């Protein structure tokens, strides 16, 4: 019997109503729970929701700050001295009962060259931060550290030469050090240049469950004080003071200290809140939010495959037959997973966007990688459970071990139940590491976020997690096949 005929025969034997129903149930669990989540997730605002800032590359970004600016031509320079930087943090832990002075680590105050005031437009900025010193940042994802690590006063300079913007810093306004250079292709002849201040939310983690953590974010505000403000070369028009993005809607800004810019005697004070940079998972949805049904689907698949493996061990000891049945289990699971994940991501994403919910902007290639990767992981998990059934020859024992090795680690790390460190190690050491293929959240040093499995961030890259799962599956299959004694009869 040829390999093709053997596979065809085993597929015919596999497609019993009970097993096909299990595959369909697993697929429906992924689709139903994902679409239920997407349909019920609505963005709500007091009045019309503001547009989500989108950068030139299509990615969703943070772009909110107070901007005091004027025009700058194709050649020009802005130079300032930042004399002080202060801030406010509202109701931090432990008691959440006071408004305190202070700066969050990535509060920012400095100078910026920007293609207009549209959120998401290209920019280059040189700034002092709350606790990371002087930084040169551009186009949301790029960040370069300067030399002034802990200085409270610093001279800052941005120089534009066509599409090139260079950031320099100085301790005395005489000796200058270049921090970084950005190439902003396509800048118009006239851009906006000026002073800015912004401050992201104060992120802390509150313990829940068995040591897990959920995020809490509080309003903050940064205040930068500047003097010796000079703009040279191609600068025209008056200074304009306005927010980029919405501002002055919080009680603190309304009743205590509004964000804005004030000039008095050559000294300019700029106050602002928000951030300029990549958008972390706060306030947006990733593809992992649509895959809540994977836990239930995984349980169904593991139980079905493990029982089928135990039945195989009772029916045959022929190694090629065992291998053919493993291939059938994997292929059938892959197809059902491919359909389910493809549907829930395509339709669920459309639902979320129709509801006004911010979604990660992903390329077609990334979306395809997630769909194919998750389907492959489900298939490998099913083959792993099948191998356990063949090896152990007891369905109930294979089910328990499969759930303990795969489903349980994935379930307890998907939700904030365990300490982040424990969750990370579970996803480094167990077959559940394969689910890192659904990773779409990037870690940025200049963005304070909760980079943890419960927030959609996996400790291993997708390829490494998939490779670890393949190793587990291959070892179990090897032990299962080699436990069977060689058969001298002609099984063909």
pLDDT tens digits for range 274-333: 999 998 654 445 678 899 999 999 999 999 999 999 999 999 888 999 999 999 999 999
The HSE-up count of residue 447 (CA atoms within 13 Å, CB side) is: 21
- pLDDT average, residue stretch 179-185: 97
Is the predicted pLDDT of residue 47 greater than 80, yes or no? Answer: no
- Mean pLDDT of all residues in 457-473: 96
Mean pLDDT across the stretch 138-160? Answer: 88
Residue 492 reports pLDDT greater than 60:
no
In this prediction, residues 199-216 reach a mean pLDDT of 92
| pLDDT score of 59 more than 80 | yes
User: Is residue 408 over pLDDT 90?
Assistant: yes
- Residue 484 CB: number of other CB atoms within 10 A? 17
Q: How confident is the model at residue 230 (pLDDT cuts 50, 70, 90)?
A: very high
Average pLDDT of span 337-357: 90
User: Can you name the CATH fold of 61-278?
Assistant: Jelly Rolls (2.60.120)
Cα 99 from Cα 91, distance rounded (Å): 5
Percentage, residues of the chain above pLDDT 90 = 78
Question: How much is the pLDDT for 186?
Answer: 92
Residue 164, strand partner residues: 161, 183
Residue 45 has pLDDT above 70, yes or no: no
| CA dist 141 → 238, 267, 407 (Å) | 31, 31, 35
C-alpha 267/C-alpha 272 separation (Å) is 17
Q: What is the mean pLDDT of residues 460-483?
A: 95
What is the per-residue pLDDT for 310? 96
Indicate if the pLDDT at residue 490 is higher than 50.
Answer: no
Which of 143-152, 190-199, 222-231 has the lowest average pLDDT?
143-152
Nearest Cα to 107, choosing from 200, 217, 210, 213?
200
Task: Give the Å distances, CA to CA, from 117 to 66, 194, 262, 445.
Answer: 10, 11, 19, 26
Band the pLDDT of 148: cuts 50, 70, 90.
Answer: low
Which pLDDT score is estimated for 42?
A: 72
Query: Which two three-digit tokens encode residue 296?
Result: 């239930």
Confidence of residue 63 (pLDDT cuts 50, 70, 90): very high
Residue 152 predicted with pLDDT over 70: no
At residue 491 the predicted structure's pLDDT band, cuts being 50, 70 and 90, is very low
Is pLDDT above 80 for 489?
no
Give domain limits for the chain: 3-40+284-483, 61-278
Looking at residue 151, what is its pLDDT? 64
Segment 353-380 mean pLDDT:
87
Query: What is the model's pLDDT at position 483?
Result: 75
Paired tokens of 334: 């892959």
pLDDT-derived band at 44 (thresholds 50, 70, 90) equals low
| Cα separation, 189 vs 235, whole angstroms | 11
| pTM passes above 0.85 | yes
In the prediction, which pLDDT does 488 show? 47
C-beta of residue 70 within 8 angstroms of C-beta of residue 239: yes
| pLDDT above 90: residue 49 | no
When pLDDT is averaged across residues 368-384 and rounded to a whole number, the result is 97
Instruction: Say yes or no to pLDDT of 12 above 50.
Output: yes
Mean pLDDT score, 255-260: 96
The answer, yes or no, to whether residue 355 has pLDDT greater than 90, is: no
Kindly state the average pLDDT of the residues 6-28: 96
């Amino acid at each position: 019997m040829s390999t093709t005929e053997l596979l065809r025969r085993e597929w015919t034997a596999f497609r019993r109503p009970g097993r096909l129903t299990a595959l369909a149930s697993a697929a429906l669990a992924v689709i139903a729970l994902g679409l239920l989540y997407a349909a019920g997730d609505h963005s709500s605002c007091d009045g019309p929701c503001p547009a989500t800032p989108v950068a030139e590359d299509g990615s969703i970004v943070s772009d909110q700050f107070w901007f005091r600016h004027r025009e700058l031509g194709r050649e020009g320079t802005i130079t300032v001295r930042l004399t002080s930087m202060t801030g406010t943090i509202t109701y931090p832990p432990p008691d959440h009962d006071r408004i305190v002075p202070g700066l969050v680590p990535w509060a920012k105050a400095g100078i910026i060259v920007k293609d207009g005031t549209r959120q998401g437009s290209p920019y280059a900025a040189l700034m002092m931060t709350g606790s990371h010193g002087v930084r040169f940042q551009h186009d949301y994802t790029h960040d370069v550290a300067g030399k002034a690590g802990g200085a409270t006063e610093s001279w800052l300079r941005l120089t534009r030469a066509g599409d090139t913007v260079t950031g320099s810093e100085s301790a005395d306004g005489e000796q200058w050090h270049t921090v970084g250079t950005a190439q902003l292709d396509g800048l118009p002849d006239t851009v906006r240049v000026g002073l800015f201040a912004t401050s992201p939310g104060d992120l802390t983690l509150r313990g829940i469950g068995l040591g897990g953590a959920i995020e809490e974010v509080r309003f903050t505000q940064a205040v930068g004080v500047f003097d010796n403000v000079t703009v040279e070369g191609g600068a025209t028009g008056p200074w304009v003071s306005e927010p980029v993005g919405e501002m002055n809607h919080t009680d603190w800004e309304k009743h205590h200290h509004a964000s804005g810019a004030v000039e008095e005697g050559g000294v300019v004070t700029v106050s602002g809140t928000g951030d300029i940079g990549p958008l972390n998972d706060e306030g947006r949805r990733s593809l992992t939010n649509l895959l809540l049904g994977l836990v239930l689907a995984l349980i169904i698949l593991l139980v079905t495959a493990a029982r089928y493996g135990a039945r195989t061990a009772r029916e045959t000891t022929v190694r090629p037959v065992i291998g053919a049945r493993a291939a059938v289990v994997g292929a059938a699971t892959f197809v059902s997973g491919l359909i389910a994940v493809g549907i829930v991501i395509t339709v669920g994403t459309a639902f979320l966007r129709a509801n006004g919910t911010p979604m990660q902007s992903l390329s077609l290639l990334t979306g395809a990688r997630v769909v194919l990767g998750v389907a492959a992981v489900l298939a490998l998990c099913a083959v792993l459970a099948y191998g356990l059934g063949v090896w152990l020859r007891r369905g109930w024992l294979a089910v328990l071990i499969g759930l303990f090795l795969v489903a349980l680690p994935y379930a307890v790390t998907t939700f904030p139940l365990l300490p982040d460190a424990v969750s990370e190690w579970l996803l480094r050491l167990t077959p559940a590491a394969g689910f890192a293929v659904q990773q779409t959240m990037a870690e940025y040093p200049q963005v304070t976020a909760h980079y943890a499995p419960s927030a959609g961030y996996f400790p291993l890259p997708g390829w490494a997690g998939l490779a670890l799962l393949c190793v587990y599956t291959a070892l179990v299959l090897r032990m299962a096949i080699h436990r069977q004694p060689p058969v001298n009869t002609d099984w063909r």
